[in-house]
Amino acid sequence: DQQVKQNSPSLSVQEGRISILNCDYTNSMFDYFLWYKKYPAEGPTFLISISSIKDKNEDGRFTVFLNKSAKHLSLHIVPSQPGDSAVYFCAASVGAGSYQLTFGKGTKLSVIP
């Protein structure tokens, strides 16, 4: 049973445009959500996170939105750059000090110059 779902395996966006990556979850106990970025042959890199007490967190070109009632979160990248091309994983945890993250299957983003 996939508790964190990323239904789009891939996404192509023109450079300079907005990239929107979506993630849905089923476990209502999750209260921390994270996005990781992964390049080939490298481990995932932490990008941005959000607590369930917020609905938005922004860090430079990256913004994460959380809709608790819909159990949905999204990552917006504006403007998209070719270097953003990577696989993006959504992850969730129960508790700020959790030892376990539950990952989605990832979305491969391609930013076209």
Partner 1 sequence: AAGVIQSPRHLIKEKRETATLKCYPIPRHDTVYWYQQGPGQDPQFLISFYEKMQSDKGSIPDRFSAQQFSDYHSELNMSSLELGDSALYFCASSWGGGGMAGYTFGSGTRLTVV
Q: Tell me which residues touch partner 1 (CB under 8 A).
A: 4, 32, 34, 36, 41-46, 49, 51, 89, 93-106
DSSP letter assigned to residue 7: -
The vertex-55 CA angle with 51 and 61, nearest 5°, equals 90
Q: Name the residue nearer to partner 1 (CB basis): 50 or 111.
A: 50
Question: Residue 14 Cβ, how far from partner 1 at the closest point, in Å?
Answer: 27
Please state the closest distance from residue 52 (CB atom) to partner 1, in A.
Answer: 11
CB of 4 to partner 1, least distance (A): 8
DSSP string covering 56-79: EEEETTEEEEEETTTTEEEEEESS
